[in-house]
């Protein structure tokens, strides 16, 4: 039996770190009122990293990928699969995965993007795991990378304070030992309007609304309901109890969603990795960024049982359970 196992992680944040106070001052110049107190109380976010103009998802993703490959001790040339989760690709095509493949100097491996917004990384990880289990890949690079700052309406105070830019990456390799134990992916497309960026290009012009729009309260309610169910489903599939988990690495959208979910699942806050305060919501990059932080600071260790969860536009959600 072949399994996939996580052998390396890496992440990258653009250097420009913008605190809530800096953002509030900037917004005030445009006649928008907000405060550190409002943002921290409602979301737990203290700061976010923003990419400089012109910096793309493939550039951030490449820098995270280099670190993950170095951590894994695997050469880029030995990758036979690259999957990139992003909703802010460099171009309509080619895929961001192909652009990162070229930057890494890999030729011939399969490379493609997955678009499941904030669930994207979990979708990509589950897909890479399926490729490896089926014998269709041996060394896979999975990346979540976003420049969400490009699709924010900086005149909409209800959304522009919530997001940041960044990238995270994982390297998976085929192994006789598990590895990724189970995954669970879901979507409900009838909810596509509660969180979307509904612009498109027609005849060379952007039509529709090119900015992220969100019904925050609907997203909050749906997120906690589906993530609770998904965590229970994936644990049941793997034959483990929620109390067996060493770590939960949830999508980093909002500390109130994370805390509420932890309480519903009975997982103590000491076992929950939360980086939303420092990174804000980096969409598909949020789970691998948080995972990499906790691995590098020594919290997540070899042998730990880790639940990763994503939720976002579509509406999409998913869980991956892994033995590290």
- DSSP letters along 16-32, please? -EEEHHHHHHHHHTTT-
- 81's CB contacts (< 8 A; 6+ apart) are 109, 110, 111, 128, 131, 132, 136, 137, 139, 140, 141
- 141's CB contacts (< 8 A; 6+ apart) are 65, 68, 69, 79, 81, 82, 83, 169, 170, 171, 172
The residue among 178 and 288 lying less far from ligand ACO, judged by its C-beta, is 288
Tell the smallest beta-carbon distance from residue 120 to ligand ACO (Å).
11
Active site residue 281: yes
Alpha helical stretches, state H, the chain: 20-28, 36-43, 57-72, 96-104, 120-133, 157-160, 216-238, 255-265, 276-279, 286-296
When binding is defined by CB under 6 A, the residue of 28, 75, 158, 198 that contacts ligand ACO is 158
The residue among 5 and 34 lying less far from ligand ACO, judged by its C-beta, is 34
The residue among 42 and 229 lying less far from ligand ACO, judged by its C-beta, is 42
Instruction: State yes or no: residue 152 binds ligand ACO (CB under 6 A).
Output: no
Give, for 49, the enclosing helix (H) or strand (E).
strand 47-49
Tell the smallest beta-carbon distance from residue 194 to ligand ACO (Å).
9
When binding is defined by CB under 6 A, the residue of 7, 51, 81, 118 that contacts ligand ACO is 118
Residue 54 burial (CB count, 10 A):
7
Instruction: State yes or no: residue 161 binds ligand ACO (CB under 6 A).
Output: yes
The residue among 45 and 245 lying less far from ligand ACO, judged by its C-beta, is 45
Catalytic residue among 49, 251, 254, 279: 251
Instruction: State yes or no: residue 220 binds ligand ACO (CB under 6 A).
Output: yes
The residue among 175 and 225 lying less far from ligand ACO, judged by its C-beta, is 225
Tell the smallest beta-carbon distance from residue 183 to ligand ACO (Å).
19
Piece in contact with ligand ACO (CB under 6 A), picked from 4-12, 55-63, 99-107, 154-162: 154-162
The residue among 106 and 115 lying less far from ligand ACO, judged by its C-beta, is 115
Q: How far is CA 27 from CA 36, 48, 73, 157, 176, in A?
A: 12, 15, 44, 8, 54
Active site residue 235: no
Comparing CA positions, the residue from 204, 175, 169, 207 lying closest to residue 85 is 169
Piece in contact with ligand ACO (CB under 6 A), picked from 8-16, 79-87, 173-181, 217-225: 217-225
Site residues, ligand ACO (CB under 6 A): 34, 38, 42-43, 118, 157-158, 161-162, 195, 214, 216-217, 219-220, 223, 251, 253-254, 256-257, 281, 311-312
Kindly list the catalytic residues. 118, 251, 281
């Amino acid at each position: 039996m072949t399994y996939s196992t996580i052998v390396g992680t890496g992440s990258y944040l653009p250097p420009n770190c913008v605190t809530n106070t800096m953002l509030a001052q900037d917004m005030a110049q445009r006649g928008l009122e907000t405060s550190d107190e409002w943002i921290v109380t409602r979301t737990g976010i203290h700061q976010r990293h923003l990419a400089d103009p012109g910096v793309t998802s493939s550039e951030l993703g490449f820098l995270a990928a280099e670190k993950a490959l170095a951590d894994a001790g695997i050469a880029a040339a030995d990758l036979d699969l690259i999957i990139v989760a992003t909703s802010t690709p460099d171009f309509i095509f080619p895929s961001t995965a192909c652009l990162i493949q070229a930057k890494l100097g890999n030729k011939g491996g399969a490379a493609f993007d997955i678009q499941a917004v904030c669930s994207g990384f979990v979708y990509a990880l589950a897909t890479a795991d399926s490729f490896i289990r089926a014998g269709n890949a041996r060394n896979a690079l999975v990346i979540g990378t976003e420049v969400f700052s490009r699709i924010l309406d900086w005149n909409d105070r209800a959304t522009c304070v919530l997001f940041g830019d960044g990238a995270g990456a994982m390297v998976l390799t085929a192994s006789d030992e598990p590895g990724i134990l189970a995954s669970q992916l879901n979507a409900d497309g009838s909810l596509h309007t509660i969180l979307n960026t509904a612009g498109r290009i027609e005849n060379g012009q952007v039509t529709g609304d090119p900015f992220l729009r969100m019904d925050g309260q609907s997203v909050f309610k749906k997120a906690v309901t589906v993530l609770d169910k998904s965590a229970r489903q994936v644990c049941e599939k793997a034959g483990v109890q929620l109390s067996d988990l060493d770590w939960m690495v949830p999508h980093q959208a909002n500390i109130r969603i994370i805390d509420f979910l932890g309480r519903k699942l009975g997982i103590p806050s000491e076992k929950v990795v939360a980086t939303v305060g420092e990174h804000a919501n980096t969409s598909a990059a949020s789970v691998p960024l948080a995972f990499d932080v906790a691995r590098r600071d020594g919290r997540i260790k070899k042998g730990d049982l880790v639940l990763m969860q994503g939720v976002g536009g579509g509406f999409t959600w998913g869980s991956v359970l892994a033995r590290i």
